[in-house]
């Protein structure tokens, strides 16, 4: 650790970027709901890549930890500074550098918000498919750094599948370009994909070249309500087994529906487990897939809901995107994880994860990206009850253990951050974990980039 008298004052004197005292907004992310908060010495607000490089360079020369920060919407504590150092917030790197709609590509600063990126693409007739929650707050740099997913990852893949190039500041403070406006590149190891999902522990992502795809003419969601986990997971397996290429394939368990049913923009049969699928493509194609989904769901659904108007469809997705907030509001606190399992273990994983809550006497509910085997099981904690908040790590660990037992992963899309760091070695095994650590050391020999995270 640094022997500087004042990191904030010294950094301010040394670099062009604005440097401010750490305020609460820069010390937390979504893990605040489980009681996690951090401590930093200063916050740097660079305007461009050169200013980022200057801050990294100064920190590296002075042995000061560096915590890159995007929109702060993470669920793993990845943006929480654990024990001092400088938070580098990318929020002012917010330019679209270039947009070539006729070539299906865009280059953006890391601080461009995900929803803004999607809007710009859409105005050019194109789609940037990844749609993690909190798109109005989250930034593309953070999305890349966590390899964010979302409902449409089922058809379109996660964020990393759309990244063709990255600009990154790596220790001790140099700017490197990994890839670019290229759709194919096998020169050199795939360092770009190594940075994707690295959670700020290998470098600070300052810009990204992204692929885009023509926006589908139509996107129609269909919801089926089923009898319990078995019924719902059976429907999910039938969709996949029928070879239906749904754009999204989500589940919302009956407990989540109990909290969120009142705001659902349609009728909800009591106690039902919901499956949401989306049909997209040309109008004809989307109509065909929608009809097939209704057929497959119809075999044993308790009820169906298939909105057609843009307003109803938008309302349905707003409702889906708001699930986490509705659940948050129930008891004031929560612990939520994002384990993923092979699709054939999905039902077992949902049931066992709910059983974890029961065994601790904590209310639990579960929803997630069914087609990708990705669960968001959430434990509802009383926000003012320290005893319950202290259960958060134990509840999470029971989920991680479950994931590994079922051949899954401790993180499908949120990353490892601080919360899961002790579980990574268990998942990877000793030799792969050694290689993981060796890669970290190759990029960041002083362990100053987001220390205590990811490994």
Nearer to a copy of itself (CB atom), residue 1 or residue 182? 182
Our finding on whether 130 is near a copy of itself (CB under 8 A) is no
CA 41/CA 20 separation, integer angstroms: 9
- Range 172-191, binding a copy of itself (CB under 8 A): 174, 176-178, 180-191
Contact 424, 436 (CB under 8 A): yes
Which of 64, 313, 395, 424 is in the footprint of a copy of itself by CB under 8 A?
A: 424
- Range 322-341, binding a copy of itself (CB under 8 A): 340-341
Our finding on whether 61 is near a copy of itself (CB under 8 A) is no
Q: Which stretch binds a copy of itself (CB under 8 A): 21-29, 239-247, 257-265, 349-357?
A: 239-247
Nearer to a copy of itself (CB atom), residue 25 or residue 176? 176
Our finding on whether 139 is near a copy of itself (CB under 8 A) is no
Which of 87, 112, 153, 219 is in the footprint of a copy of itself by CB under 8 A?
A: 153
Name 218's Cβ contacts closer than 8 Å, sequence gap at least 6: 279, 280, 281, 282, 283, 285, 286, 287
Q: Provide DSSP, 384-416.
A: T-HHHHTTHHHHHHHHHHHHHHTT-BS-SSS--
| 66-69 and 218-226 strand pairing | unpaired
As measured in angstroms, the least distance from the Cβ of 210 to a copy of itself is 13
Our finding on whether 97 is near a copy of itself (CB under 8 A) is no
Nearest to 22 by CA among 46, 4, 43: 43
Our finding on whether 193 is near a copy of itself (CB under 8 A) is yes
Our finding on whether 409 is near a copy of itself (CB under 8 A) is yes
Our finding on whether 435 is near a copy of itself (CB under 8 A) is yes
**Structure tokens given for 410:** 């401790």
As measured in angstroms, the least distance from the Cβ of 195 to a copy of itself is 9
Dihedral pair phi/psi, residue 134, rounded to 5°: 60, 40
Nearest to 222 by CA among 266, 282, 271, 158: 266
Nearer to a copy of itself (CB atom), residue 94 or residue 237? 237
CA 112/CA 114 separation, integer angstroms: 6
> How many residues does this entry show for the chain?
455
Name 442's Cβ contacts closer than 8 Å, sequence gap at least 6: none
Contact 222, 278 (CB under 8 A): yes
Q: Provide DSSP, 317-356.
A: HHHHHTHHHHHHHHHEEEEE---B--GGGHHHHHHHHHHH
Contact flags string 203-232 toward a copy of itself, x per CB under 8 A = ----------xxx-----------------
CA 354/CA 346 separation, integer angstroms: 12
Which of 14, 20, 82, 194 is in the footprint of a copy of itself by CB under 8 A?
A: 194
How many alpha carbons lie under 13 Å from residue 169 in its C-beta half-sphere?
Answer: 27
Which of 5, 23, 24, 241 is in the footprint of a copy of itself by CB under 8 A?
A: 241
Our finding on whether 439 is near a copy of itself (CB under 8 A) is yes
As measured in angstroms, the least distance from the Cβ of 10 to a copy of itself is 26
Nearer to a copy of itself (CB atom), residue 20 or residue 181? 181
Nearer to a copy of itself (CB atom), residue 25 or residue 435? 435
**Structure tokens given for 63:** 């042995």
Q: Which stretch binds a copy of itself (CB under 8 A): 80-88, 294-302, 314-322, 425-433?
A: 425-433
As measured in angstroms, the least distance from the Cβ of 249 to a copy of itself is 11
Our finding on whether 413 is near a copy of itself (CB under 8 A) is yes
As measured in angstroms, the least distance from the Cβ of 8 to a copy of itself is 29
Cβ neighbours of 244 (radius 10 Å): 17
């Amino acid at each position: 650790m640094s022997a500087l008298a004042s990191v904030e004052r010294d950094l301010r004197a040394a670099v062009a970027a604005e440097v401010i005292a750490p305020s609460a907004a820069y010390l937390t992310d979504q893990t605040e709901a489980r009681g996690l908060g951090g401590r930093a010495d200063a916050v740097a607000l660079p305007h461009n890549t050169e200013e980022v490089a200057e801050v990294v360079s100064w920190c590296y020369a002075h042995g000061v930890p560096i915590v890159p920060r995007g929109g702060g919407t993470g669920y793993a504590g990845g943006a929480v500074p654990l024990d001092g150092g400088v938070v580098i917030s990318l929020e002012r790197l917010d330019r679209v550098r270039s947009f070539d709609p006729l070539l299906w590509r865009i280059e953006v600063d890391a601080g461009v918000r995900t929803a803004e990126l999607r809007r710009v693409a859409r105005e050019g007739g194109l789609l940037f498919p990844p749609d993690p929650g909190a798109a109005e707050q989250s930034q593309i740099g953070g999305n890349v750094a966590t390899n964010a997913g979302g409902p449409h990852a089922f058809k379109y893949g996660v964020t990393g599948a759309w990244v063709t190039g990255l600009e990154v500041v790596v220790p001790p403070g140099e700017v490197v370009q990994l890839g670019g406006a290229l759709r194919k590149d096998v020169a050199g190891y795939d360092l770009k994909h190594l940075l994707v999902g690295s959670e700020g522990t290998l470098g600070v992502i300052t810009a990204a070249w992204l692929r885009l795809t023509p926006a589908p003419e139509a996107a129609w969601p269909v919801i089926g309500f089923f009898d319990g986990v078995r019924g719902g997971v059976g429907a999910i397996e039938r969709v996949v087994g029928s070879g239906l290429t749904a754009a999204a394939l989500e589940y919302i368990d009956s407990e989540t529906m109990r909290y969120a049913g009142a705001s659902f923009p349609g009728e909800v049969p009591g106690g039902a487990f919901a499956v949401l699928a989306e049909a997209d493509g040309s109008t004809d194609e989307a109509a065909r897939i929608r009809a097939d989904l209704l057929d497959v769901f119809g075999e044993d659904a308790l009820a169906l809901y298939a909105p057609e108007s843009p307003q109803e469809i938008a309302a349905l997705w707003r409702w889906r995107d708001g699930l986490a907030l509705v659940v948050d509001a129930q008891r004031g606190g929560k612990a939520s994880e994002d384990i993923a399992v092979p699709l054939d273990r999905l039902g077992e994983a949902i049931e066992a994860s709910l059983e974890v809550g029961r065994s601790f006497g904590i209310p639990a509910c579960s929803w997630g990206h069914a087609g990708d085997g990705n669960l968001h099981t959430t434990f509802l904690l009383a926000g003012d009850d320290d005893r319950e908040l202290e259960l958060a790590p134990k509840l999470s660990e029971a989920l991680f253990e479950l994931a590994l037992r079922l051949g899954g992963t401790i993180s499908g899309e949120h990353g490892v951050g601080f919360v899961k760091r002790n579980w990574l070695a268990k998942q990877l095994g000793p030799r792969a974990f050694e290689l993981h650590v060796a890669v970290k050391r190759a990029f960041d020999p002083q362990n100053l980039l987001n220390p205590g995270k990811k490994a």
